[in-house]
Amino acid sequence: MEGVANVTMSSTGKKRKGLKQQLRDTNRLLSKSDLPETVRVSKERIAKLITQEIKEKEKKERDKKINKKYKMVKFFEKRKVTRKLKSLTKQLITATDEDREALLLEIDNLKKDLNYITYFPNGHKYISLYPTTSTSERSLQMRDDIYQSITRQVSEGTISDSFHSNSLCDSQDKKVHDKKLTDEFFM
Say what the pTM is. 0.64
Per-residue pLDDT at 79 = 94
120: how many CB neighbours lie within 10 A of its CB? 24
- pLDDT tens sequence across 53-103: 999 999 999 999 998 998 999 999 999 999 999 999 888 888 788 888 888
The pLDDT of residue 1 is above 50: no
Per-residue pLDDT at 179 = 55
**Domains of the chain by residue range:** 67-185
Q: Hey, is 15 helix, strand or coil?
A: strand
Could you list the beta-strand ranges (E) of 25-145.
none
Is residue 45 within 8 A of residue 30, CB to CB? The reply is no
Higher-scoring residue by pLDDT: 22, 162: 22
Task: Tell which residue, 170, 67, 42, 40, has the closest CA to residue 121.
Answer: 67
